[in-house]
């Protein structure tokens, strides 16, 4: 078992997505990009410039990325772990019934999960954050807490099989922790 899901949609954040995508490859994993449909998605780059007083996220056009598989076709038992990317995509893809099914599988099966920025909106909507501690962008603190989670304003928060960061600025702090979890899960899967 070597495949890891990366969840995206239209307006997924570029750095949120590409950093873990490339890191997975570096450690010998096969990243599989999943979206609402199997097609190419436009990504965006988000930044809150210091002179904007943290009020509004400035958005720039990013790269595009091909989804390898549609949510409806994902058999989550075939995957070692999952990554929930940020950007605006989680605001609308969280309502996809197949994505909810996929998300619940990874939480129930205790597989390695990583989440950044607005990505929290997916497990929150799926009912998977109750009693869990997570980092997320401050704007999503409400989404996490209203669904029973606890917001932690740190660059890396580990709660069991769940690793989270606030924004792409935290990638260097939490993605490596998640990769180590995946390596251990792969080792255990190879023994079985």
Q: Is 38 exposed, middle or buried, given 0-12, 13-18 or 19+ CB atoms closer than 10 A?
A: middle
Q: Which of 42, 118, 169, 171 is catalytic?
A: 118
Instruction: Specify whether the CB–CB gap between 153 and 137 falls below 8 A.
Output: no
Q: Residue 112: CB partners within 8 Å, gap ≥ 6?
A: 80, 81, 82, 161, 163, 178, 181, 182, 185
Q: Please indicate whether residue 42 is annotated as part of the active site.
A: no
- Supply angle C-alpha 91, 93, 98, rounded to 5: 145
Q: Which residues are catalytic?
A: 118
């Amino acid at each position: 078992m070597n495949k890891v899901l990366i969840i995206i949609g239209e307006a997924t954040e570029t750095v949120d997505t590409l950093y873990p995508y490339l890191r997975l490859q570096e450690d010998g994993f096969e990243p599989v990009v999943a979206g609402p449909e199997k097609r190419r998605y436009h990504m965006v780059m988000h930044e809150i410039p210091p002179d904007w007083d943290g009020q509004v996220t400035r958005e720039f056009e990013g790269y595009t990325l091909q989804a390898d598989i549609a949510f409806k076709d994902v058999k989550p038992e075939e995957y070692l772990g999952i990554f929930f990317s940020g950007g605006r995509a989680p605001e609308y893809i969280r309502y996809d019934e197949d994505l909810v099914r996929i998300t619940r599988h990874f939480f129930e099966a205790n597989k390695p999960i990583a989440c950044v920025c607005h990505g929290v909106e997916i497990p929150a909507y799926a009912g998977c954050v109750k009693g869990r501690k997570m980092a997320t962008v401050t704007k999503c603190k409400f989404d996490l807490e209203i669904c029973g989670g606890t917001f932690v304003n740190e660059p890396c928060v580990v709660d069991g099989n769940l690793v989270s960061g606030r924004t792409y600025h935290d990638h260097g702090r939490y993605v490596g922790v998640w990769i180590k979890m995946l390596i251990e899960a792969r080792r255990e899967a190879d023994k079985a």
